[in-house]
Amino acid sequence: MTADDLPYASSLVFNAGVIRYRGEYVMVFRSDYGTDRDGYENRDQRFTGTAVGVARSKNGVDGWRFDPVPLIDSSELEKDSEVRRFYDPRIVEIDGRLLLCLAMDTRHGIRGAIGEVTEDLRGWRLLSASVPDNRNIVLFPEKIGGEYVRLERPMPVYSRGRDRFDVWLSRSPDLVYWGRSELLLGVEDVPWANNKIGPTAAPVKTEKGWLTLFHAVDRDETRGKNGWEKQWKKRYTAGLMLLDPEDPAKVLSVYREPLIAPDTPIETDAGFRENVIFPCGMIAEETGEIKIYYGASDACVCLATANIDDLLSLLL
């Protein structure tokens, strides 16, 4: 899916959460708009807004139908509003409630937000937002031990060093009050990541545990211009781990290599920031197929598929 597919103005469509909902697949995606490559590179134009849009499909692969207007649009916020934009949506359905996790840029830092969406996906309300700086909040798709559980990625710049960030886990009785926070996975536990890691898509429940993706970033000072920006030194890959079925704060296994690394032209040679794989959605089909929806190069939405037993065999 690219910006050209949308019924409203968009420059880049990426980082999409997907669930099966009422007989179809519902996707929530990020859309940045307001400039193009030429404007960005040669005329110092920047994006004027970010929206979260909704699309639906019968099979989760093609035939996506777009809602006519975005669910959330930064242009609708007051000019001097504390919140500047919402982005990188993930979606789950828990006990019949549609819950959206969002990154929320504010004038006082980046916050991780959780909202509840109406059944028709045309409206939403904010339930809670973390203190800054925190993003990549991802809810487990069901309560565990009677509590809501989320993954998150605080950004401890002073104590860990700039961009040396880890994945944390917190619990809540009501989606509003979050606590009992624990470190889940440190960046040093991911052999190929020399920069930061973060949560990606809602974990999938299997008999062996929670199949869980994360994103991992390596930085290489020799990388120069990649994509629209003057310099882009990072590479984003998707990693895979297995968490204990009863206590997801226990990591059972981490696959030692990237599960998805940028290697096709759409991931390495095209897009806003090249070499970015950023999954926000994962679905387990009854056939054993796993669908992974990821943003490629901050420019389009891609779908990768795998067999669940193959993925588990990497971890057991």
Per-residue string for binding with ligand BMA, 1-40, x by CB under 6 A?
Answer: --------------x-------------------------
State both tokens at 56. 């639906």
Considering only the stretches 62-70, 121-129, 141-149, 271-279, report the one whose residues sit in contact with ligand BMA under the rule CB under 6 A: 271-279
Which residue, 25 or 236, has its beta carbon nearer to ligand BMA?
236
Would you call the peptide bond into 73 cis, given omega within 30 degrees of 0 as the criterion? no
Which residue, 148 or 298, has its beta carbon nearer to ligand BMA?
298
Which residue, 296 or 308, has its beta carbon nearer to ligand BMA?
296
Considering only the stretches 47-55, 71-79, 218-226, 272-280, report the one whose residues sit in contact with ligand BMA under the rule CB under 6 A: 272-280
What is the dihedral sign for C-alpha 68, 122, 22, 302? Answer: positive
* Binds ligand BMA by CB under 6 A, chosen from 33, 178, 214, 236: 236
Distances, alpha carbon 35 to alpha carbons 45, 128, 261, in Å = 6, 32, 28
Give the DSSP H or E segment for 311.
Answer: helix 308-313
Which residue, 290 or 296, has its beta carbon nearer to ligand BMA?
296
Question: Taking CB under 6 A as the rule, does residue 295 contact ligand BMA?
Answer: yes
Which residue, 200 or 212, has its beta carbon nearer to ligand BMA?
200
CB of 237 to ligand BMA, least distance (A): 12
CB of 102 to ligand BMA, least distance (A): 11
Report the alpha-carbon distance of residue 279 to residue 272 in Å, rounded.
Answer: 16
Give the DSSP H or E segment for 252.
Answer: strand 251-254
State both tokens at 11. 């420059």
Burial class from Cβ neighbours inside 10 Å (0-12, 13-18, 19+) for residue 1 reads buried
* Binds ligand BMA by CB under 6 A, chosen from 197, 276, 282, 301: 276
Instruction: Kindly report the number of other CB atoms within 10 A of residue 66's CB atom.
Output: 17
Site size for ligand BMA (CB under 6 A) = 8
Nearest CA-CA partner of 217 in 159, 293, 163, 153: 163
Question: Taking CB under 6 A as the rule, does residue 273 contact ligand BMA?
Answer: yes
Tokens 């909902």 appear where? 21
CA 62, distance to chain mean position in Å, is: 21
CA dihedral 218, 245, 308, 185 (to 10 degrees): 0
Which residue, 172 or 297, has its beta carbon nearer to ligand BMA?
297
Report the alpha-carbon distance of residue 136 to residue 134 in Å, rounded.
Answer: 7
Considering only the stretches 41-49, 122-130, 157-165, 273-281, report the one whose residues sit in contact with ligand BMA under the rule CB under 6 A: 273-281
Per-residue string for binding with ligand BMA, 76-95, x by CB under 6 A?
Answer: ------------x-------
Closest residue (Cβ) to ligand BMA?
Answer: 278
Which residue, 60 or 295, has its beta carbon nearer to ligand BMA?
295
Interface residues with ligand BMA (CB under 6 A) are 15, 88, 236, 273, 276, 278, 295, 298
